[in-house]
Chain A
Amino acid sequence: MRLFSGSSGRRAHRVLPGFGITLGFTLAYLSLIVLIPLSALLFKTFSLSWDQFMQAVTSPRVMASYRLTFGASFMAAAVNVVFGLLIAWVLVRYDFVGKTLIDALIDLPFALPTAVAGISLTALLASNGWLGQYLEPWGIQLAFNPNGVVIALIFIGLPFVVRTVQPVLEDAEKELEEAATCLGATRWQTFARVIFPSIAPALLTGFAMAFARAIGEYGSVIFIAGNMPMVSEITPLIIISKLEQYDYAGATAVAVVMLGISFALLLLINALQAWQRRLAGAVA
């Protein structure tokens, strides 16, 4: 029997000590490390007039960097959705030699420092690299141009999709698939009409997470991108080069735009996860 239930639940919480001190510390640390420094960004932006702000965030070079950053992030996240789903499916549904190893390796992009990923992908794909030397005769260049950006971002984003889809596939009820089969559905129909709808929210969440991470990514991209203005210069690099020219206001303006987009994506991801939980709750 639960001793504390219903209306007395509130009293039960008060039994545990430490609410004041833990919440107080949490709020103080959060404010000091995150909230106050982030607000500095906004205050600095207010030192610019609207025209100055717009000029800083819409100059042709900055616009070109948005196109590259968002385009490459979108492409990389899209590739990751396809292969992430495939890998999650294979890991959950099939047995094969080395499965545990592959499963552990998926998290490599989380554990490997981005700069290391950047230089090794570059060494691999440069025209004298292991892979690059075979692609060069075909006229395929994957390093030092926007292609390299996409490849680095695929590397960075892969675990997000696999790790959001995998648990949902594991929880999926086989009975539904059996029922579909008994009712005469082909395997493809079962996948498209029964399995896919149940994992679609997780796939979208994984896409949004990979996309959000890719937009802010710096370390792995700058080595392989070539960093040519108007062609292969990502937005975070614009912020760095403005800083190096002591253009603090300009750097801040671009940073605010990126921060706004990050906030929007964070809210979107939260909404997607809530949808996913509701869907899981409806099935269970």
Chain B
Amino acid sequence: MSQSTQTRRIEAGTTEPAWVRYTLITVSVGFIVLFLVLPLATVFTEALRKGGEAYLAALQEPDAWAAIRLTLLTAAIAVPLNLVFGIAAAWAIAKYEFRGKAFLTTLVDLPFSVSPVVAGLIYVLIFGAQGWLGPWLQAHDIQIIFAVPGIVLATIFVTFPFIARELIPLMQAQGNDEEQAAIVLGATGWQTFWHVTLPNIKWGLIYGVILCNARAMGEFGAVSVVSGHIRGQTNTMPLHVEILYNEYQSVAAFAVASLLALLALVTLVIKTVAQWRHANEVKAAESAAPERVSFEASFV
């Protein structure tokens, strides 16, 4: 009897009275509805304000199509390059000990702390008409700034750390034991990576790629500096949204924006699934004993 009172008191002491709980939940949900749900809903209601036909018409416009194509092209170049970099950097940093490793890890994160506008500016300073390589590029009739290569470069810069920073802690937690076993058993380095490492980091990789892709398709500040805003040629989707919005073509602007918002929602869904699996990968890596044997891994 006294024990159950004790338990009840402890329970009461490790949670809050119901009215406090409900107040906190209400305030939190209210804040999220106000700051996250309403802006998201606004995108779609504004896009459909003049009906479905106006919405579709806005999306079928040639300049909108050109912007969509450029955005897809940019992501199709930037994401794979950063993927290869992410895997290489994670392999070097997580699997080996060397001097300056902590410093290198900080440098990998560096682009996150640089303002997107500054990220665009540095490429203008190198490749622009007044820049280091400007005269040489002009002499050879190569255009990088105010053209597609500049947009791709700026996008690579701002999405640079996404995949590496997901993989480094994951591969560090997983250690080298499984890879060493594979090598000792005669696998080549490539086979080891493909059959041992990759299955272990799969969800972390997907998580990184999906966030990298969302940022690559949605980047505004950096791309805005290097793009030159030529309609139909150097306008990505976010830049096209800006132009339409500034021209008071609200429905068209929100129509293109709604595609980006849909992309964000798809990203969130895949991210939630990947994050859940990714957490399991990390947990499996952390809970596995150092002497875990390979058949255990095949059950994970």
Contact = CB atoms under 8 A, between A and B. Distances in A.
Contacts of A114: 218, 220-221, 238
B125 interface: yes
Interface of chain B: mostly helix, strand, loop or mixed = helix
B89 A22 contact: yes
Interface string A214-228: 011111000100000
Given A26-B104, A35-B107, A181-B13, A19 B85 contact: no
B219 A123 contact: no
Interface stretch (A49-57, A59-67, A197-205, A252-260): A252-260
A110 interface: yes
A238 to B, nearest CB: 9
Interface in A228-257: 236-237, 239-240, 243, 246, 248, 251-252, 255
A119 interface: yes
Nearest to A87: B28
A26 B95 CA distance: 14
Contacts of A87: 28, 31-32
Contact of A187 (B16, B37, B124): B16
B154 to A, nearest CB: 10
Contacts, number: 299
A115 B176 contact: no
Nearest to B241: A115
A185 interface: yes
Interface of B: 9-10, 12-16, 21, 24-25, 27-29, 31-32, 35-40, 42-43, 46, 81, 84-85, 88-89, 91-93, 95-98, 104, 106-111, 113-118, 121-126, 128, 130-132, 153, 156-157, 160, 176, 179-180, 183-184, 188-189, 192-193, 211, 214-215, 217-221, 224-225, 237-239, 241-242, 245, 250, 253-254, 257, 260-261, 263-265, 267-269, 271-272, 290-291
Interface of A: 1-2, 4, 10, 12-13, 15-19, 21-23, 25-27, 29-30, 33-38, 40-41, 44, 83, 86-87, 89-91, 93-94, 96, 98, 100, 102-117, 119-121, 123-124, 129-131, 154-155, 158, 174, 177-178, 180-182, 185, 187, 190, 212, 215-219, 223, 236-237, 239-240, 243, 246, 248, 251-252, 255, 258-259, 262-263, 265-266, 269-270
